[in-house]
Structure 1
Amino acid sequence: MTSSLPVIRTVSLLGSGLIGGGWAALSLAHGLDVVVWDPAEDAAARLHSLIERAWPSLQMLGLAQGADRSRVRFVGSAAEAVAIGDFVQESGPERLEIKRALLREVIPSLREGVVLASSTSAFTVTELLSEGPRCERFVIGHPFNPPYLVPLVEVAGADFTDPAAIEAAFAFYKRLARVPVTMVREAPGFIANHLQAALFREALHLVNEGIATPEQIDACLVHGLAPRWSAIGPFMVMHLAYARSGIAGYFPSFDLGSERLLAHLPPPIRNASLEAAMSEGCERLMAGRSRSAVEAQRDRTLAAVLRAQRETIVDPSGK
């Protein structure tokens, strides 16, 4: 990126589903203009509905000067959206061929100095650009649902990615009050999805072997691990558990203490009994509530947790 970076006033979004729509709500809440391309006929209605649903939680966290839900408009083509944006976020369907085709179409329209990021949850930069033009300003900017609340954004590039593009994406996400994490090297699935998948595999084994129900597992996470993990992660939990030696004290007993807990690495074999138990358990967790009601409760709780984190947690990176 030899030219100076543009001042970011307008964010262009390719796709406006749950993820793209979440980026839209977040960008509007931070006083930015939003340009959207989405080929779905009902895209505008769905997007405005999502923004309305997200806005109370965003207000709870504090809106930036100039925040306005009306500062969003749709354009007729992906290339037009890309040509307008000071930062571009792609959030199309998680299908490799669709993303590759979209990137081939829009990269020629990317203005000089503008960063193009993908919300993909699995594909690497190298995979996404393997059949099209190599773009040094294309990066991964993987959020977590809902993007307008969950702060983490995983940022990654390839060997050919301009370091300035990574830095620019990092700075932009920080501006949106996100917590960006850059990877040491690119890998499919990034970081958090590997951790999430490992925990979910273990949960499936517990249900499959009749040890616990979905309700019991969710309760253990929501009321046990999650509150602690909202303050410190698993490495710091273990480090603090060994008061004299820190985490170094854990390793002499690693095999004895962890062997049984690490027994379930592959997922269980898919079977009808497991599928029924999971479906029935999740219906019981819904307790007759609508999806929108559960999402609203989730958002209120997340916003309260995030406010508490802002008041108590210091970023060890100092960034």
Structure 2
Amino acid sequence: MSKPFTTAAVIGAGTIGLSWTALFAGHGMRVRVTDPRPDLAEAVEAALTACAPQLAEQGLDIRDIANRVQLASDVTEAVRDADVVQENGPENIGFKQELFATLVREAPAHALLLSSSSAIPATAFSGELDDASRVLIGHPFNPPHLVPLVEVVPGEHTSEESVARAVEFYRSVGRTPVVERKEIPGFVGNRLQNALSREAIYLVEQGVVGPAELDTVVTNSLGLRWSTVGPFLGAHLGGGPGGYRHMDEHIGVSMKRMWDALGQPDQGPEETERLITAVEKAYGHRSYSELTQERDHKQTAVLAALHATGNTTEENQR
């Protein structure tokens, strides 16, 4: 039996790091947070206050949640006695190489060393470490205290034991880990997101639709469908009783022809500015706080409905 996960170190207290902090503390862990930002105490307090109601909706006991979180003056203090370290620093290979060298040296020998990296694979910054066997990617989607997915991506030197322990850890804090066995920049989730975003930008750039209308298309069709079944099961069901094979035989050719017709947006300075202006026109009249609260409320409602019906990724894979 592996050592239980009782203490977590969170390195970097931006949006993702603060969300991880709330999630870990909400699951009863002791959490040490470090970040050079001068307002760290205020940021942690605000995050715990904002996240607490959502954690309570997940059935977690949030009494004394703030007492489970400590501020650390540096990385060495943060990782002391940690069972797991969650790094949330810049998307910069040099930064991560230096930081993870420190983590390997200062964290306990049993501690998992996890990175929230959005695009950089673990091997890119761990190849020269003395011990990279416990270094791997644990990439969440924002905000991780609400969105269940964590992409668990081992590097070339990550041990199978560390992969298994990472899956165990993320499940212990209510997440849905998916192990990806081949490193690729951006992993799976962000590559899919970027593919859709590229076509979305192209459609807006070409004047086919505006940003708000495109969002309406996605949330009332693909987003709704994919939140319950995903692209492949959705296509399998779209083929009727004949399934994916029937779908491919009947409309596969025409759909594949469309691949060549997909757009490549021309995001030069002028086009980029026009797109930014269009998005700001669509949503800029509402505050960031208002928009995130609405997003989180809707996401919580969707997750509650999926949980009530037993419709989860892990259920579908069984």
Secondary structure at the residue paired with 2:44?
helix
Deviation per CA, 1:107-155, whole angstroms, max 9, x where unpaired?
A: 1122122211000011111101134333201111000111111110000
Which of 167, 173, 196 in structure 2 is aligned with 1:176? 173
Secondary structure at the residue paired with 1:305?
helix
Which of 94, 99, 106 in structure 2 is aligned with 1:97? 94
Match for 1:232: what amino acid?
V
Which of 260, 263, 278 in structure 1 is aligned with 2:261? 263
- CA offset at residue 8 of structure 1? 1.0
- CA offset at residue 272 of structure 1? 4.7
Give the Cα separation in 2 of the matches to 1:25 and 1:141: 17
Secondary structure at the residue paired with 2:13?
coil
Q: Indicate the RMSD between aligned Cα atoms, in angstroms.
A: 1.8
Q: Between the two proteins, what is the percent identity of the paired residues?
A: 33
Superposed, which structure 2 residues align to 1:1-319 within 5 Å?
A: 5-64=2-61, 68-252=65-249, 253-264=251-262, 267-286=264-283, 288-312=285-309, 313-314=311-312, 315-318=315-318
Report if aligned partners of 2:198, 2:265 keep a CA contact under 8 Å in 1: yes
Give the Cα separation in 2 of the matches to 1:88 and 1:77: 13
Match for 2:57: what amino acid?
M
Give the Cα separation in 1 of the matches to 2:260 and 2:138: 31
Report if aligned partners of 1:51, 1:69 keep a CA contact under 8 Å in 2: yes
Report if aligned partners of 2:154, 2:181 keep a CA contact under 8 Å in 1: no
Match for 1:44: what amino acid?
A
Match for 2:316: what amino acid?
P
- CA offset at residue 262 of structure 1? 4.6
Give the Cα separation in 2 of the matches to 1:21 and 1:96: 22
- CA offset at residue 159 of structure 1? 2.9
- CA offset at residue 184 of structure 1? 2.1
Give the Cα separation in 1 of the matches to 2:61 and 2:282: 36
Report if aligned partners of 1:17, 1:47 keep a CA contact under 8 Å in 2: no
Match for 1:317: what amino acid?
Q
Larger mean Cα displacement after TM superposition, 91-100 or 115-124: 91-100
Deviation per CA, 1:20-69, whole angstroms, max 9, x where unpaired?
A: 11100111111111111112211221122122122222222221486623
Q: TM-score, normalised by structure 2?
A: 0.93
Give the Cα separation in 1 of the matches to 2:77 and 2:59: 32
- Change in Cα spacing, 1:262 to 1:179, as seen in structure 2 (3 Å) is farther
- Change in Cα spacing, 1:25 to 1:144, as seen in structure 2 (3 Å) is same
Gaps (5+ residues) in structure 2? none
Give the number of equivalent residue pairs: 314
Larger mean Cα displacement after TM superposition, 244-253 or 181-190: 244-253
Which is richer in helix? 2
Report if aligned partners of 1:30, 1:67 keep a CA contact under 8 Å in 2: no
Secondary structure at the residue paired with 1:139?
strand
Report if aligned partners of 2:8, 2:82 keep a CA contact under 8 Å in 1: yes
Give the Cα separation in 2 of the matches to 1:176 and 1:193: 22
Report if aligned partners of 2:205, 2:275 keep a CA contact under 8 Å in 1: no
- Change in Cα spacing, 1:160 to 1:7, as seen in structure 2 (3 Å) is same
Gaps (5+ residues) in structure 1? none
Give the Cα separation in 1 of the matches to 2:235 and 2:4: 43
Secondary structure at the residue paired with 2:10?
strand
Report if aligned partners of 2:154, 2:183 keep a CA contact under 8 Å in 1: yes
- CA offset at residue 273 of structure 1? 4.9
Give the Cα separation in 2 of the matches to 1:119 and 1:8: 18
Give the Cα separation in 1 of the matches to 2:157 and 2:284: 50
Give the Cα separation in 2 of the matches to 1:303 and 1:257: 34
Larger mean Cα displacement after TM superposition, 15-24 or 244-253: 244-253
Deviation per CA, 1:53-112, whole angstroms, max 9, x where unpaired?
A: 222222222214866233101112212212221111111112111111111122112212
